[in-house]
Amino acid sequence: MAMPITAPEQVTAKWLTDVLRNAGELPYGNITDVKIKSTKIRPYSRITYLEVGYSANTSAAKPSNLFLKLASPNEQQATSEINSREVEFYRIVGSEMNGPPLINCYDAVYSPATGESHLLLDDLSETHFQTDQGEAPSCFYSELAIKCLAQFHAYWREHPTLGNDVGRFFDEQWLATFVEDLEKSVPRFLAFLGDELSTERRQAYQRMLASSRKIWGRLTRPEGLTLTHGDTHWWNFLYPKDPTSEQTRIFDWQLWHIDLGARDLAFLVALGGFAERRPEVDPKLLRLYHETLIANGVENYPWSVFWDDYRWSAIRNLNIPVIFWSQEKHERTWRRALERAFQAYNLLDCASLS
């Protein structure tokens, strides 16, 4: 059983030759040189950019720049399952659709014993860019991100492997446990805020709790479900520097699961994806998302049904600040999420649903 790389220095020419050959990317020839260009330390991972040299007899099509992500559990957060999930994604989902809108993955390994993992991906930094955290892209690039997300959702919507080989459906037992936890966490959050929370907002939370089995129970029925990212931020997309020759990619798949595609969209657009909300561009992005689904083969999903799915998903956004607060995230993080969730809740008239 393959073990994960735990340090960039372990990526030797021989190891990388074997990995790329097993991935079908190096039918002949060898890697002669591996250079570490740079390394970035993140809270739960280490990112290394590699430059690769090949022997003269190597096939022409070969990756010259690679992206190595090393992950290990953190003492303050149980990240082992997250590491496992991302590796599972690239091994199962990535093998089905390696390439746009995903980043090509050449190796994905996780160790249950240690919780460590590695991912070896294409380094697209020469052809793509990210927005800064907390900053939404221009309208043009926002549209590219929406189309990218919709294309992924369309591919996996009601896919025959969902819940079998790919992902797991939520069931009644999960729903009962989730609702029980929700009925504890939300009142604690409301008690913490006390008189600071308006009567109108407190009533919105009460309506959400009263409708919780309907809202989240939708996930126990497979109709219309797809694979979702689970953490859609504007900076979880790589935008092409030249849109005429490259496509937008989406990455960071630690929280993927089966859900409504509108849920990803509501996190990104209605909640703002941790950037400032832009209600003036929302209608155009929502129409583009739905049109892209239809253009990519999704049937029997009229705008009216999608619109309700999106609004129900916006109601679910009210639970995001509760989760952030329970996880003891920075106060500014959960307060911003609270304000943005209610901005969309009111704009979309979600009260009339719940």
Residue 158's CATH number: 3.90.1200.10
Let me know whether 101 and 145 are in one domain: no
Specify the pLDDT at position 35: 94
Q: Tell me the pLDDT band of 28, cut-offs 50, 70 and 90.
A: confident
CATH number at residue 111: 3.30.200.20
Beta bridge partner(s), residue 74: 77
| Rounded CA separation 90/118 (Å) | 11
Average pLDDT over residues 57-64: 75
**Whether the predicted pLDDT of 110 surpasses 90:** yes
> What DSSP line would sit under 133-148, residue for residue?
TT-PPPHHHHHHHHHH
Count the neighbouring beta carbons within 10 Å of the beta carbon of residue 99.
12
| Rounded CA separation 179/176 (Å) | 5
240, 248 Cβ separation under 8 angstroms? yes
Let me know whether 86 and 159 are in one domain: no
Helices (H), 157-302: 172-193, 199-210, 212-217, 261-265, 282-295
Specify the pLDDT at position 73: 65
The residue out of 122, 143, 163 marking a domain boundary is 122
Let me know whether 63 and 153 are in one domain: no
Q: Lowest mean pLDDT: which of 5-9, 222-226, 276-280? A: 276-280
Q: Tell me the pLDDT band of 75, cut-offs 50, 70 and 90.
A: very low
| Rounded CA separation 176/21 (Å) | 47
Domain that holds residue 44: 8-122
Specify the pLDDT at position 122: 94
DSSP annotation of 229: -
Let me know whether 155 and 242 are in one domain: yes
56 inside domain: yes
CA 183 to chain centre: 26
Let me know whether 152 and 197 are in one domain: yes
pTM of the model: 0.93
DSSP annotation of 166: B
Specify the pLDDT at position 333: 93
Let me know whether 88 and 141 are in one domain: no
- What total of structural domains would you count in the chain? 2
Let me know whether 73 and 198 are in one domain: no
Q: Tell me the pLDDT band of 76, cut-offs 50, 70 and 90.
A: very low
| Rounded CA separation 274/330 (Å) | 13
- 233-276 per-position pLDDT tens digit: 999 999 999 999 999 999 999 999 999 999 999 999 998 877 77
Count the neighbouring beta carbons within 10 Å of the beta carbon of residue 206.
14
Place of tokens 């809270």: 43
Let me know whether 108 and 160 are in one domain: no
Specify the pLDDT at position 61: 65
Let me know whether 201 and 164 are in one domain: yes
Residue of 116, 151, 101 whose CA lies nearest to 251: 101
Pairing of strands 65-71, 31-42: unpaired
- 264-321 per-position pLDDT tens digit: 999 999 988 777 788 788 999 999 999 999 999 999 999 999 999 999 999 999 999 9
| Rounded CA separation 306/318 (Å) | 19
The residue out of 93, 122, 151 marking a domain boundary is 122
